[in-house]
């Protein structure tokens, strides 16, 4: 059944309540199992051998010593692997950019450093890892290019578009002339480095080989339907013979949106050996799975003496691989955030000898907003205007790029509430004017924005014999609290207490859902859950009214409602029938499936976005240049907040990410070898508890009936957007030194 739920609304005691995570107990007691933790009889283990050059080809691969290790069962290489599809389209997944996806063990060519070139399969993981160290490979090296700055002259527009990517808007007016004649001008370049996701759970796939070649796959993925389709197409297998499960994900942040190579290798080994195989990547190996792309951004802003924008120029160059054109929405945010009649934006890519970049929390938004929000701060300082005031003077009441009204926009309320809580009115204008002992104090602020999208999603609702409701959908819970908010939605939509609802997720046999990403899951899957529960509820009311010898027999279903585990008359709750009685009578019939589609005809008339305001205080040591984020306040307008507790956690997590982006996270490449130098948590510096100051989250009330029937906008991405810029602006206010190249390390501050 396809549903366009237009008149279905959600009300009840659970949604909006700060409910504890329903999966919390399972996680803290170890009952929750991840991809590499499922017990499988007679299991073999695979360890991946990676290339040590960035470009070239394999000349020889000596496997003699590795094969001689007792316990080694087989070694897969480009010359020994199962047959796979030759058609490029078969290799594309739900998140694939334009181009030809990477094919592990395809041939002898090396396309990037740390490319998988062999899989050792052994009785234990330790044996496999030891044998891998004995593989001897000789290469024919070719000149490689991994430096974006060196090769930026090769920048070109992307070859074609990617799902979710909006090309920069067409130029409006003569931006260069408008800039030239502006009273106040800013023209600067901002850069961001390669960053890696570094989730706690390693990427892993456990492939259970069953009767008749059926495969049950436990995969670390943000979309079981994506992994399922990929395996079926690439290996030419019947979909009904594959089942992919991912009930829990130990963090992913975009790194598990696409099927990663350990899935391919584990399936290839299982099919070759007709045995169950597990492949788990090491921390070092996960650095070869994709990353936030390196970018160079030029922003030129022209304004009149009052700080009102006359020209916006935003030019972006981003890195990509040679085999796919990875693209993000980076330049578009400038004219979405600020009103300006004259603008020019561009986005180009530079193909390099690297693995294809990958969506990383707030892809494009975290980068583009950092640049424009830093540039706006520079413009404010040059014009002698308070940074908050200049944003209000250029406030966009409409999406100027598409000439659309916003479905809702409470950004001004975000500014007001966050600035009041932060104490912004006490900020002195001049840099280096605030101190705390030997530390300079800086206050900075920035705006955040992210898309509010709804995608097609399916769900199934079943009333069990004991009156419990089981709702299932293939979507994932990547740590965001999906199990919990879906339980709340189902409980309220069906009229049951929370403890009478069970949510099943992360199984490709369940109703279809896209990958969990882009902050669209709550609005998309939540709408499907709400709709299918409401439909099942109506069916139950109808059956209750038709049931012979029932206290509700003959009562119109419109006069009935489900409350606390029973069907009752709205105006006479004493006339009531327990759901368990209904379930016992209609066993096997009380089930409903639905595929919910968004109302695109209505939604396309509006610009749909989440907004935030971020205020940060930093302390900069005058002697050493070290920066500490002492406190931050973020106010978010994200429509309806389903669960304030999990929502706050999402924003806090994004703020922590923003601290890392601003001050420490950077994957460094040795340009001579084209290889990552700091591919471990000892050298890739993530922020830790000791780095955190006092962070506060405010949720600004916002109603939006356009984005989806529930009125939620999603919170996974918005928490990081704007944070790096707010910190950067605070560092300038503390020191008088503008750092435009992330991360802001002490050598750049001193």
Cβ–Cβ contacts within 10 Å for residue 678, how many?
16
**Helical ranges in 579-715 per DSSP H:** 579-585, 600-603, 644-663
What torsion do the CA atoms of 320, 321, 326, 329 make, to the nearest 10 degrees? -10
254 backbone φψ class: left, alpha, beta (φ>0; ψ -120 to 50): left
DSSP tag of 510: S
What is the DSSP track for 527-592?
HHHHHHHHHHHHHHHHHHHH-TT-TTTT--GGGEEEETTEEEETTEEEEEEEHHHHHHHTTTT-EE
C-alpha to C-alpha distances, 252 to 24, 127, 199, 630, 657, nearest whole angstrom:
18, 28, 5, 28, 13
Cβ–Cβ contacts within 10 Å for residue 386, how many?
18
469-472 and 501-504: which strand pairing? parallel
d(CA 103, CA 91): 8
d(CA 575, CA 550): 9
* Token pair recorded at residue 571: 């105006």
Helix (H) / strand (E) element for 654: namely helix 644-663
**Helical ranges in 236-364 per DSSP H:** 261-273, 283-286, 333-337
- Which of 269, 227, 230 minimizes the C-alpha distance to 246? 227
Which position has the token pair 């193909």? 351
C-alpha to C-alpha distances, 346 to 94, 152, 170, nearest whole angstrom:
25, 14, 9
Residue 407 backbone phi and psi in degrees, to 5: -60, -35
- CB-CB contact of 122 with 134 (8 Å): no
* Token pair recorded at residue 211: 């009767």
Cβ–Cβ contacts within 10 Å for residue 549, how many?
5
d(CA 536, CA 594): 10
C-alpha to C-alpha distances, 415 to 368, 403, 410, 610, 692, nearest whole angstrom:
20, 24, 9, 14, 23
Catalytic position from the list 195, 373, 410, 717: 717
Burial status of residue 136 (CB atoms within 10 A of its CB: 0-12, 13-18, 19 or more): exposed
Would you call 107 helix, strand, or coil by DSSP?
coil
Would you call 728 helix, strand, or coil by DSSP?
helix
Q: Is 665 a catalytic residue?
A: no
Beta bridge partners of 502: 470
d(CA 625, CA 283): 31
- 355-371 as b/e: b if 16+ CB within 10 A: bbbbbbbbbbbbbbbbb
Quick check: bond before 743 cis, omega within 30?
yes
* Token pair recorded at residue 646: 């999990």
Residue 738 backbone phi and psi in degrees, to 5: -95, 120
- Could you list the active site residues? 717
């Amino acid at each position: 059944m396809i549903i366009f739920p237009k008149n279905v609304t959600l009300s009840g005691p659970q949604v909006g309540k700060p409910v504890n995570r329903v999966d919390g107990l399972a996680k803290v007691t170890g009952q929750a199992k991840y991809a590499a933790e499922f017990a499988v009889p007679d299991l073999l283990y695979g360890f991946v051998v990676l290339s040590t050059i960035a470009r070239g080809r394999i000349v020889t691969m000596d496997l003699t010593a590795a094969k001689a290790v007792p316990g080694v069962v087989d070694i897969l290489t480009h010359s020994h692997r199962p047959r796979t599809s030759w058609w490029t389209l078969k290799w594309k997944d739900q998140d694939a950019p334009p181009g030809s996806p990477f094919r592990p063990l395809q041939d002898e060519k090396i396309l990037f450093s740390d490319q998988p070139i062999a899989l050792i399969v052994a009785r234990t993981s330790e044996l496999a890892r030891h044998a891998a160290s004995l593989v001897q490979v000789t290469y024919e090296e070719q000149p490689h290019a991994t430096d974006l700055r060196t090769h930026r002259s090769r920048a070109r527009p992307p070859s074609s578009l990617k799902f979710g990517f909006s090309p920069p808007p067409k130029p409006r007016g003569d931006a260069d002339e408008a800039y030239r004649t502006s009273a106040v001008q800013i023209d600067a370049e901002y850069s961001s480095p390669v960053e890696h996701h570094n989730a706690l759970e390693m990427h892993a796939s456990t492939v259970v080989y069953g009767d008749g070649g059926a495969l049950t796959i436990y995969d670390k993925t943000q979309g079981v339907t994506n992994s399922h389709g990929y395996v079926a197409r690439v290996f030419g297998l019947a979909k009904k013979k594959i089942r992919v499960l991912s009930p829990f994900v130990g963090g992913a942040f975009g790194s598990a949106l696409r099927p990663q190579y350990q899935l391919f290798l584990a399936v290839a080994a299982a099919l070759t050996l007709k045995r169950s195989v597990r492949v788990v990547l090491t921390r070092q190996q996960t650095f070869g799975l994709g990353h936030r792309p390196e970018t160079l951004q030029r922003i030129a802003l022209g304004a009149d003496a009052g700080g009102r924008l006359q020209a916006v120029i935003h030019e972006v160059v981003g890195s990509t691989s040679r085999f796919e054109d990875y693209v993000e929405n980076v330049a578009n945010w400038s004219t979405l955030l600020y009103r300006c009649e004259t603008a020019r934006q561009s986005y180009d890519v530079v193909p390099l000898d690297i693995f294809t970049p990958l969506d990383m929390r707030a892809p494009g938004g975290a980068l583009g907003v950092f640049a424009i929000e830093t540039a706006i701060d520079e413009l404010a300082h040059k014009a002698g205007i308070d940074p908050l005031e200049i944003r209000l003077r250029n406030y966009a009441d409409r999406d100027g790029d598409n000439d659309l009204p916003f479905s809702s926009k409470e950004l001004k309320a975000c500014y007001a509430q966050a600035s009041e809580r932060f104490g912004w009115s006490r900020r002195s204008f001049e840099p280096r004017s605030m101190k705390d002992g030997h530390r300079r104090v800086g206050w900075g602020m920035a705006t955040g924005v992210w898309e509010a999208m709804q995608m097609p999603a399916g769900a199934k609702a079943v009333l069990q014999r004991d009156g419990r409701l089981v709702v299932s959908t293939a979507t994932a819970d990547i740590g965001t609290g999906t199990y919990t908010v879906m339980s709340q939605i189902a409980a309220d939509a069906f009229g049951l207490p929370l403890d009478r609802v069970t949510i099943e997720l992360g199984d490709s046999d369940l109703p279809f859902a896209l990958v969990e990403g882009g902050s669209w899951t709550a609005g998309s899957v939540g709408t499907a859950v709400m709709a299918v529960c409401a439909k099942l509820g109506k069916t139950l009311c109808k059956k209750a009214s038709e049931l012979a010898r029932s206290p509700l027999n003959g009562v119109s279903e419109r006069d009935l409602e489900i409350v606390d585990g029973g069907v009752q008359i709205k105006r006479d709750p004493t006339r009531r029938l327990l759901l368990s009685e209904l379930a016992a009578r209609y066993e096997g019939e009380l089930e409903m499936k639905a595929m919910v589609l968004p109302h695109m005809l209505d939604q396309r008339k509006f610009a749909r976005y989440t907004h935030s305001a971020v205020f940060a205080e930093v302390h900069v040591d005058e002697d050493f240049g070290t920066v500490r984020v002492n406190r931050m306040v973020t106010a978010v307008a994200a429509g309806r907040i389903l669960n304030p507790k999990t929502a706050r956690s999402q924003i806090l997590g994004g703020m922590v990410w923003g601290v890392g982006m601003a001050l420490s996270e950077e994957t460094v490449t040795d340009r001579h070898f084209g290889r990552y130098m700091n591919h471990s948590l000892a050298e890739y510096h993530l922020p830790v508890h000791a780095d955190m100051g006092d962070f506060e989250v405010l949720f600004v009330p916002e109603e939006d009936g356009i984005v989806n029937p529930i009125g939620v906008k999603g919170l996974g991405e918005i928490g990081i957007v704007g944070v790096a810029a707010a910190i950067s602006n605070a560092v300038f206010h503390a020191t008088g030194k503008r750092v435009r190249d992330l991360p802001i390390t002490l050598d750049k501050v001193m």
